[in-house]
Structure 1
Amino acid sequence: MLAVNMLVKWENGGETSIERILWLDRQSDLAFVIDVEANEFPFAVTISEIEEGISEGLATVLHDDPFLRVVDEEKLSEKEQQMRDKAWELIGGIVTLEPHIFYKKERAKYIKLIAEKSGMSVKTIGNYLKKYWRNGKTKNALLPSFYKCGAKGKEKAVGSAKRGRPRQHADVVGEGINVDDDIKRIFRNAINKFYYSSAKHSLRLTYELMRKEYFSEGFKIEDGVKVPILKPAAEIPTFWQFRYWFEKERNIKKEISTRFSPKKYEHEYRPVLGSSTAEAIGPGSIFQVDATLADVYLVSRYNRNWIIGRPIVYAIVDVFSRMVVGIYVGLEGPSWNGAMMAIANAASDKVAFCKEYGIEITEEDWPVHHLPEAVLADRGELEGKNAENLVNGLHVKIMNTPPYRCDWKGIIEQYFRTVNLQYKSVVPGTVDPDGRERGDRDYRLDAKLDIYQFTQIIIKCVLYHNNQHYLKNYNREEMMIADDVECIPRELWRWGIENRSGKLRNVPEDIVKLHLMPSDKATVTPRGIRFKNLYYGSPLMLKERWTEKARMNGTWKVEICFDPRNMNYIYIKDADGINFEKCYLLDHQVRYRDKSFDEIQNLLAAEKLKQKKAADSEAQAKAELITEIQHIVQEAQKAAVAAKDDGESDAKKKRSIRANRQVEKLANREREAFELNKEPSKGLAPVVILGDNQESLGEEEGQLELLKRKQKEALQKRNG
């Protein structure tokens, strides 16, 4: 349907014209139009002629009006407003006299009358009318077209005259040159060669290198070195001309990619035109998982004087609702173990999880114990055979971002930044790289929290985020607005469950853990099942007498799974992948009970370090011991040489061993016997006179008595 101010484009034999409809009278089938591209007054046509041309394809209605200007009144200059208002003051009273103003005689009469009153020429007033009609019949149609002045965006032809502001002292330094196509080609070559490179030359240095490379008159030899002879400044473009064309043709993407790296451009400078939320249709569509190094130093639970460094925090966030669905806090660097713990936590009962850390919550506070349809992670943790169990056993799709593209997981990255700000100002031992001056106290020495307490803080931050944090930049859908859903993760999660369900899946917690826990090999030994220097036992081990078999036939390996957070148990997988044998930490390993794998490894490492530190002193003490033993042996050897009886045969010595032992034992008994309030003996031992009957004793008994007497004499001398 035709309407006033509509543009109609006519095509006739390759020639085109655009006409604006100024007035319509359907009763008389009459319309007045004006050719917007010609300097002519309106003319009359029939409405049926226009409609017939449109139906036959000779004319088309233009929906975009390039001649109708929409401007902000505040941005108009004072001169523009004055020129518009002056023209409107002249013709504003006659443009409403339709259709009389469109007839030539009537129009001429009105124009002549205005010209006589204002002193303006008839031609000027006529031009105002044509401009008003061509540009859309509005007051702003009379605005001057200053924006077209100077042919903005179009390059000017290069002539012989020097363009731009004349130089000062041109008679001395010369007028300079214009930048033509050849000069611009040199500019581009120099920028590509010297500026767009990993050398990161400044623009000034690029200009100097360009002068050396492209604006020289030859070379000279100085000290055997070929030195270019540069042209004078009057014959080359200035640095400011070079800079102007550099800015005019500057390619930001190419500049960042070549001077730094394509990754830097993609990460920090690329246009951000989409939203992560658009990829998720509901809760559980996509979980984003990532790890960060917390900005706080911790102490050991074994000895609070031991500083153990900064913990790793894993978190999983639901893309649709921004709900934090799983966390893990540990000491091991980003790895499959950390990602596994976070995913297992996402599928576990949060009420029981929080209770382990002394925090009481209800199901409504953290209503998440599900697996998602897909997990988005960095390249690394969720690549390899460990992730295959997640895909094949739990039917979870794994998506990995390109290398160094953490911006593809903007939701989880923003959460880490937010949670750091929440605890950093109130927790001791936080990292403050900008706050330390030389001589200041090292913030690491202020560490007070252990890993258990820091996990409590992270849980508190998660509960705040899920239940109270208002998402200011979350774009709600129309249905959310209609249901008046608050932009709080828990409320968005609830709304999504009710209206966009279907992606979340419940899987028994033990099955999830069985597929996620890291696998390793343990050794069956006579002392139990050994894993990482810890010993375990199980009912199956006792029933099948594994320890006895290991003692008789030697040790063997078994496949086990374990939870690094609590090393009280390990699990031996059955062949069916569903059942398992639970192994318990043995009683004599009580010092490892209720401790995490990281804490136990820290303890073992600390003990090993102490052993290494004590190795030198132990070696020194052992050397001294050996020396003292050798000295005693040497003294014994000297005494043996002095008391050697060459008349006694070796056979006789061997026969006397039993008798000698008996004598020695009797002497030791007398020496070792308890005697209370003992007084030291003085003087010589009484002399024993052997009678004639002594000779009648047997040879062996005589020797025995003689040896006893000699032993007593020696003991008395030693005590005296």
Structure 2
Amino acid sequence: MFIRISGARFRVLKQGAGGAWVIAYDEYQMPRYVSRDELERAERIAAPEEYVRNRERPMSAAQQQRYDLLRSALEDDRCITDEAHRTAVFAAIAREHNTTVRRLRRLYHAYLAYGSLTKGKPRESTRRSDYEAAIRKYYFSAKRGSLRTAYELFILANYTNQGILADEIPSWSSFRTYYFRHFRDNPQKEIAREGLTAYQRNSRPLYGSAMQYRESIGCYQVDETQGDIYLVSKWDRSKVIGRPNVYLAIDTASGLIAGLYVGLDAGETAMMACIANAAMDKRAYCASYGIDLRPEDWPSRGLPSEIISDRGGEFVGNRIDELCICYGIDRQALPPFRAEEKPLVERAMDLIQESYKSMLRGRGVIGDDVGERWATDYRKQAILTLDEYTAIVIHTIIALNKGRVLTDIGHLPVEAPNTPARLWQWLTDQGKSTLLDVDADELYRRALPRASSKLTRKGIVCNGLRYLPERGAELTIGAKIEYAYDPQDTSHIYVIAEDKRLIPCALAPSSARYDGYDMADVAIMRREESEREKAARQMELEARVAMRSEIERIIRQAEEQSTGSVKDISDIPQNRTRERRSLT
């Protein structure tokens, strides 16, 4: 006999005067006892078709073998009603036949519930609209309640009357089983609970291969991150200057890290510096940090013909627009949370920081517990300057370019090398390159940071220094102009003309003493000059105060000696002559 209790199906195993022992048909449960009243309220239903087929089908050899294994339990009605006895019988069978009690329990349930020892419980695709509505309303919610909370709210809304539970309610077990059977992998769960942004960023399925996106070098993926390390000033190592910004440009076809910027700047200036670095000869760049580079270890040189980036402000601003227009560069700005469109640069960021983190523990590198209570203050551990950190990043990039083995280049011929540097050179030799050959000096100037000022008769003021445009430059006195400047070289700035030409301006004679220094040196020199001037002003003030003190003393003395005397103004020339004679 089969019955339905609270929507779940049960097979009646053994009846008595006070009630009956039943076993669940739709989910895994051992036999349980129901009272006579509950049994009478239960709905009588026909035996499931699957159960009927199982009972009518002859027992196979595999079924007979399993039946023989469980014979002592199946032929003992006490195993239905006495859980302790049932467990003891299973334990004895498990020891004798070298199996597990868990397996025996499942076989026992399978035979009692639906009459088969070789097939699991039937999984019917029966849908329950009340369960589905409750799950979508209470669990798929931005309030992020638990599944148990959703079940309780479901019971409260549908099976209570003035706070009193109904006699028959769906069980928590059936509600939970229904969720895991029909909704466990439903993307709507994360979208509803965490938001579409989190789903697109973390759980959206991705397809394809990054290395097959381009087959010719010249398409660069660019991105930015903040280094997981605190740095100190190179002028005073006792002062922490914060975390550096790292920009990378990586070639899509070869996986070579082609461009780098490490510094304290962010935005368009840093982005342009990274592109300029990608286009330059790396030997001079590495030499400035004391690194002797072999050309074949970092062979990239030239401007990319295509740039892939996200929609960050530095990647879609006026500066990058100007660069693309001047050199005919294609640009692809990806929509938000499409990291799979530039996975190479995303992974390169991680590889670089993973390479040095273990060696810099306790030296300013940020740990996973940053910001937590009682966590280490990593700022106090900083020891590296910006130049030293940049040198570490360069060494890491050289190692990744020449030594990292690529495993996803199946779209290329067998003879293609499998390291980024060698693959870059191989593709170049095959003529698969769309790099643009540009004037390195002009690109360098266009990548410089920019500012604006007013042109006066005394010139243009940039960081406290005055510059004069070259003769013949068509600039209007009093006009506001935009100019580019090099923080490492104070000798010139470059005014951006309306046609995007760069007009050089040299230091004015009043600032010529700063020629040959970088802006950081000039700032220190000007600060020292300011302190010397302040000391001189103090000395000047002290001298003038002393002067006025003496003048006041002389005035008081004169007033004391002339008190009460009558002034004779009748013959001033004669008095003047007499005074002159007395002085000689």
Settle same-fold status: TM greater than 0.5. yes
Alignment correspondent of 2:304? 372
The one-letter amino acid of 2:175's match is F
Alignment correspondent of 1:79? 62
- Structure 2 residue aligned with 1:198, among 133, 136, 142? 142
Distance 1:356 1:418, change over 3 A: same
Alignment correspondent of 1:443? 378
Contact 1:592-1:600 at 8 Å conserved across structures: no
- Pairwise CA distance, 1:295: 1.7
The one-letter amino acid of 1:496's match is L
Alignment correspondent of 2:213? 279
- Structure 2 residue aligned with 1:432, among 367, 378, 381? 367
Contact 1:312-1:332 at 8 Å conserved across structures: yes
- Pairwise CA distance, 1:330: 1.0
Alignment correspondent of 2:44? none
Q: In structure 1, how many angstroms separate the alpha carbons of the residues matched to 2:136 and 2:287?
A: 63
Of the structure 1 ranges 635-644 and 307-316, higher mean CA displacement relative to structure 2 is found in 635-644
Distance 1:702 1:650, change over 3 A: closer
Alignment correspondent of 2:424? 493
Alignment correspondent of 1:213? 157
Q: In structure 1, how many angstroms separate the alpha carbons of the residues matched to 2:365 and 2:318?
A: 37
Q: In structure 2, how many angstroms separate the alpha carbons of the residues matched to 1:248 and 1:603?
A: 70
Q: Secondary structure at the match of 2:255?
A: coil
- Structure 2 residue aligned with 1:381, among 314, 324, 347? 314
Distance 1:701 1:565, change over 3 A: closer
- Pairwise CA distance, 1:252: 3.2
Distance 1:601 1:231, change over 3 A: farther
Q: In structure 1, how many angstroms separate the alpha carbons of the residues matched to 2:289 and 2:510?
A: 24
Alignment correspondent of 1:329? 262
- Pairwise CA distance, 1:301: 2.7
Q: In structure 2, how many angstroms separate the alpha carbons of the residues matched to 1:507 and 1:602?
A: 33
Alignment correspondent of 1:464? 399
Q: Secondary structure at the match of 2:258?
A: strand
Alignment correspondent of 1:699? 575
Q: Does the alignment pair 1:152 with 2:123?
A: yes
Alignment correspondent of 2:180? 247
- Pairwise CA distance, 1:392: 1.4
**Residues 631-668 of structure 1, C-alpha deviations (whole Å, 9 max, x = no match):** 98887776565445565559799x79xxxxxxxxxxxx
Distance 1:645 1:436, change over 3 A: closer
Q: Secondary structure at the match of 2:157?
A: helix
**Residues 167-217 of structure 1, C-alpha deviations (whole Å, 9 max, x = no match):** xxxxxxxxxxxxxx7xx3332222222221211111122222222222221
Alignment correspondent of 2:233? 300
Matches within 5 A, 1:50-449: 79=62, 150-155=121-126, 184-218=128-162, 229-232=163-166, 234-250=167-183, 252-284=186-218, 286-333=219-266, 335-379=267-311, 380-427=313-360, 428-434=363-369, 442-449=377-384
Alignment correspondent of 2:461? 530
Q: Does the alignment pair 1:570 with 2:493?
A: yes
Distance 1:623 1:199, change over 3 A: farther
Contact 1:537-1:585 at 8 Å conserved across structures: yes
Q: Secondary structure at the match of 2:387?
A: helix
- Pairwise CA distance, 1:256: 0.9
The one-letter amino acid of 2:261's match is Y
Distance 1:294 1:705, change over 3 A: farther
Contact 2:303-2:436 at 8 Å conserved across structures: yes
- Pairwise CA distance, 1:313: 1.0
- Pairwise CA distance, 1:265: 0.9
Distance 1:282 1:535, change over 3 A: same
Contact 1:389-1:516 at 8 Å conserved across structures: no
Q: Does the alignment pair 1:509 with 2:453?
A: no
Q: In structure 1, how many angstroms separate the alpha carbons of the residues matched to 2:400 and 2:367?
A: 24
Q: In structure 2, how many angstroms separate the alpha carbons of the residues matched to 1:474 and 1:397?
A: 26
Q: In structure 2, how many angstroms separate the alpha carbons of the residues matched to 1:146 and 1:517?
A: 78
Number of residue pairs aligned between Structure 1 and Structure 2: 470
Alignment correspondent of 1:9? none
Alignment correspondent of 1:86? none
Distance 1:624 1:360, change over 3 A: closer
Distance 1:624 1:536, change over 3 A: closer
Identity, % of aligned positions:
26
**Residues 45-103 of structure 1, C-alpha deviations (whole Å, 9 max, x = no match):** xxxxxxxxxxxxxxxxxxxxxxxxxxxxxxxx9938989xxxxxxxxxxxxxxxxxxxx
- Pairwise CA distance, 1:153: 4.3
Q: In structure 2, how many angstroms separate the alpha carbons of the residues matched to 1:198 and 1:651?
A: 102
Q: Secondary structure at the match of 1:521?
A: strand
The one-letter amino acid of 2:181's match is K
The one-letter amino acid of 1:185's match is S
**Residues 594-624 of structure 1, C-alpha deviations (whole Å, 9 max, x = no match):** 54x6x5798699999x99xxx9xxxx99999
- Pairwise CA distance, 1:298: 1.8
Q: Secondary structure at the match of 1:235?
A: coil
Larger radius of gyration: 1
Alignment correspondent of 1:520? 451
Distance 1:564 1:200, change over 3 A: farther
Contact 1:389-1:515 at 8 Å conserved across structures: no
Contact 2:427-2:433 at 8 Å conserved across structures: no
- Pairwise CA distance, 1:341: 0.5
Contact 1:523-1:531 at 8 Å conserved across structures: no
Q: Secondary structure at the match of 1:520?
A: strand
Q: In structure 2, how many angstroms separate the alpha carbons of the residues matched to 1:626 and 1:579?
A: 50
- Pairwise CA distance, 1:463: 1.2
- Pairwise CA distance, 1:293: 0.9
Contact 1:211-1:230 at 8 Å conserved across structures: no
The one-letter amino acid of 1:200's match is R
Q: Secondary structure at the match of 1:480?
A: coil
- Pairwise CA distance, 1:441: 6.8
- Pairwise CA distance, 1:148: 6.8
- Pairwise CA distance, 1:703: 4.2
Q: In structure 2, how many angstroms separate the alpha carbons of the residues matched to 1:186 and 1:388?
A: 56
Contact 1:517-1:563 at 8 Å conserved across structures: yes
- Pairwise CA distance, 1:290: 0.8
Q: In structure 2, how many angstroms separate the alpha carbons of the residues matched to 1:398 and 1:530?
A: 35
- Pairwise CA distance, 1:493: 1.3
| Runs (5+) with no aligned partner, structure 2 | 1-59, 67-115
Q: In structure 1, how many angstroms separate the alpha carbons of the residues matched to 2:580 and 2:155?
A: 117
Q: In structure 2, how many angstroms separate the alpha carbons of the residues matched to 1:536 and 1:353?
A: 28
Q: In structure 2, how many angstroms separate the alpha carbons of the residues matched to 1:396 and 1:375?
A: 7
- Pairwise CA distance, 1:370: 1.7
Q: Secondary structure at the match of 1:493?
A: helix
Q: In structure 2, how many angstroms separate the alpha carbons of the residues matched to 1:295 and 1:78?
A: 65
- Pairwise CA distance, 1:511: 3.5
Q: In structure 2, how many angstroms separate the alpha carbons of the residues matched to 1:206 and 1:500?
A: 62
Q: In structure 2, how many angstroms separate the alpha carbons of the residues matched to 1:294 and 1:460?
A: 16
CA RMSD of aligned residues (A): 4.5
Distance 1:231 1:633, change over 3 A: farther
Contact 1:573-1:581 at 8 Å conserved across structures: no
Distance 1:490 1:560, change over 3 A: same
Of the structure 1 ranges 451-460 and 555-564, higher mean CA displacement relative to structure 2 is found in 555-564
Q: In structure 2, how many angstroms separate the alpha carbons of the residues matched to 1:150 and 1:441?
A: 54
| Runs (5+) with no aligned partner, structure 1 | 1-76, 84-144, 156-180, 219-228, 657-697, 710-720
Q: In structure 2, how many angstroms separate the alpha carbons of the residues matched to 1:523 and 1:391?
A: 28
Distance 1:639 1:289, change over 3 A: same
